[in-house]
Amino acid sequence: MMEFLKSWITNITVVIIFTMLLDILLPNNDMKKFAKVIIGLLIILVIINPFLTLKDFGNRFQSTMTLATAYIESSEENNSRSIEIFQNNTALNIYKEKLSDKISEIVRSRKEFENSKVRVNVDIENDINETEFGSIKAIQVFVEMGNGKVLQASAIEPVKINTETVINKKQDEYNWNNRFLSQDLSTDISDALGLKDTEIFVQIQE
């Protein structure tokens, strides 16, 4: 844990020193303002990167954005708001992309889905004025089997009632294998990200 903190703080320190040098060397013009935007994004990446593989994404992201906002507030008064909006949106997009990659990795770690196509939709609180800013609201995962087929249970035998009534269940409407695999995947994702099962929807499709 100490090594992790030491490495993390060192990286942040290096970026801050680099920022100070650029602030001194660059002329006070539009290029300097543009450089501050880029540097702000760099600082955000350095701060949030260690947390992208850990649990409690939402809480850690919120703490990260608090630190990043402190840097933004040091910019010129007339530009700070637009820079803050731009950086927050960019950070959210990076966060969602990394989160989607992590979920796809979790899905493909199971042998059944190692060659599958995975599509992830992540719904995150994006209102910076909300106390839950950056928290995960819902996750949708769509898995397409690599072999082009939906996993199906064994053929379901007709159920006879009083030897006269026969009930047939279509396989594509009554697929137990897919149902249980979806539940297992939902549990894997919720455990890895520290979320509730009710916040995750998984669908396995052809």
Q: Which tens digits make up the pLDDT trace of 92-105?
A: 888 888 889 999 99
CA torsion, ordered 88, 188, 56, 138, to nearest 10 deg: 50
Q: 57-71, 123-137, 147-161, 181-195: which range is least confident on average?
A: 147-161
Report the candidate in 98, 5, 79 with the shortest Cα–Cα distance to residue 40.
Answer: 79
Banded pLDDT at 87 (limits 50, 70, 90): confident
Does 173 score more than 50 pLDDT?
A: no
Task: With both helix axes pointing from N to C terminus, report the angle between 30-48 and 2-25 in degrees, rounded to the nearest 10.
Answer: 180
Average pLDDT of 133-154? 69
Banded pLDDT at 1 (limits 50, 70, 90): very low
Quote the CA–CA distance of 51 and 66 in Å, as a whole number. 14
- In total, how many domains does the chain have? 1
Quote the CA–CA distance of 154 and 173 in Å, as a whole number. 13
| pTM for this predicted structure | 0.52
Q: What is the mean pLDDT of the chain?
A: 70
Report the candidate in 19, 18, 7, 80 with the shortest Cα–Cα distance to residue 47.
Answer: 7
pLDDT at 165: 38
Higher pLDDT, 12 or 80: 12
Q: What is the CA angle 80-84-86, rounded to 5?
A: 120
Which phi and psi (to 5°) does residue 45 adopt? -60, -45
Provide the domain limits for residue 51: 2-205
